[in-house]
Amino acid sequence: MADKNRKWVLKSRPRGLVERGNFEWKEEPLPAIGDGEFLVRNLWLSCDPTQRGWMERDTYVPAVGIGEVMRSVSAGQVVESKHPGFRAGDLVSGAFGWQDYALNNESDLMPVTKVPEGVPLTLPLGTLGITSLTAYFGLRDIGKPEPGETVVVSGAAGATGSVAGQIAKIRGCRVVGIAGGADKCEWLTGELGFDAAIDYKFEKVSARLRELCPQGIDVFWDNVGGEMLEAALSNIAMGGRIVICGAISAYNATEPPPGPRNYMNLLARRARMEGFVVFDYLDRTDEAMAELVPWVMQGKIRYREDVRDGLENAPQALLDLFSGGNTGKLIVKIADPEAAES
C-alpha cells in the first residue's frame, strides 16, 4: 500500500466549459480507519457528463464542496476493513471519488456494492452499471417502445446511447442513432446493428430524420438537448414519447439556452416528454440485471470501453466527454488490482 493519497479536489466552480484549473492536485497521508469503516484502493474511475453539474450546483445530489475530493463513480479493491460487511480483497464499486484511496462507510449518492467474482471490474461502471441501468429503466419505464416502433437515439455512440439503442433493437424496434463523425456512425450501423445513423456534424438532422422516419419518431431518446431535441420534436409521431436522459449540449452553457421553440408539437401530436434520474431506480438493480447480464454474455449488447491512463489525467478525460473525444464508455484506469494486493 502507498503511504500517501493522491487526489483531485474541487478548487473552483466552472463558468462555461470545465477547465483543468477548476481542480487542484493534492497529496496527503493515508487516512486511518475507524470502527465500521473500510479503505478502498481506487482502480477505475467512471467519466460521466453529470459530474459537470455536480461541480457547479446542487442538482439531484448536493454539489461537490470547494476543497472536497471530486466526486466520481468508481471501482476498486478493499485493502483494509473494520466493517463487518467488507473484507480486504473484496472488489467493490461506489462513489469513491478522484483519489487513490477512499475511506468509506457508504456514500449518500450510491451504496457500495460488491462486484461478483469473474465480472471484469470495469463493467459495473458502464455496461453492467449506471450506464446500462439508465438505458434499461429509461426505455422500459419512460419510453416504453413497442416492437415495430421507430426509436431515435441522440448521443448514440456514447456509453448510455449505445446501450439504449441496442436494447431498443432487442425489443424489436427500428433504431436510428445520431452521433458526431463517420467512424461513430459506422460503429452504430456495423457492430451494434442500428438500422441507420446520422452524422450530425455533416448532415441536417431534421431533414435526415424526416427521410429515415417517414411515419415519425415513436420514441426519442435524448442525451443532447438543444437543436437535436428540436429536430426530434419536429418529427415526433402521433403519441410519441421523448425520454429526457440528458442535455449535454447545454451543460457548459453560461446562460441556459431557450427551451425548444417547437414544443407545441407535443400538443398537436398528443406526445409527451419526461425526464428521469437513474439513481431513483437503484433498488431495482436486480430486476434490470436479470435481463442485462444475459444480453451482455450472449453478445446481444456489445460495448466499447475507451480507457485513459492515470489519475493525473482525470480532468482531461472529463473534458473529452464534451468534445466527443470518446466512443463508448469513457473510463480512467488509475492502478492495477495487483497493486492493491501487494
Ligand X SMILES: NC(=O)c1ccc[n+]([C@@H]2O[C@H](COP(=O)([O-])OP(=O)(O)OC[C@H]3O[C@@H](n4cnc5c(N)ncnc54)[C@H](OP(=O)(O)O)[C@@H]3O)[C@@H](O)[C@H]2O)c1
Q: Which residues bind ligand X (CB under 6 A)?
A: 48-50, 130-131, 134, 155, 157-161, 179-181, 184, 223-224, 245-246, 248-249, 276-278, 321-322, 324, 326, 330
Alpha helices in 67-106 (DSSP H): none
Rounded Cα–Cα distance for residues 342 and 334 (Å): 16
Amino acid at 250: A
- We find the least distance from the C-beta atom of residue 221 to ligand X, in angstroms, to be 9
Cβ closest to ligand X, residue 138 vs residue 240? 138
User: Among 305, 299, 322, which residue's Cα sits nearest to residue 75?
Assistant: 305
- We find the least distance from the C-beta atom of residue 315 to ligand X, in angstroms, to be 16
Amino acid at 170: I
Cβ closest to ligand X, residue 99 vs residue 249? 249
Cβ closest to ligand X, residue 5 vs residue 122? 122
- We find the least distance from the C-beta atom of residue 237 to ligand X, in angstroms, to be 23
Cβ closest to ligand X, residue 79 vs residue 228? 228
Rounded Cα–Cα distance for residues 286 and 264 (Å): 38
Which three cell numbers mark 80?
483494509
- We find the least distance from the C-beta atom of residue 41 to ligand X, in angstroms, to be 24
- We find the least distance from the C-beta atom of residue 29 to ligand X, in angstroms, to be 33
Rounded Cα–Cα distance for residues 54 and 47 (Å): 12
Which three cell numbers mark 119?
465480472
Cβ closest to ligand X, residue 58 vs residue 117? 58
Rounded Cα–Cα distance for residues 217 and 23 (Å): 41
The number of C-alpha atoms within 13 Å of 332 and in the hemisphere containing its C-beta is: 25
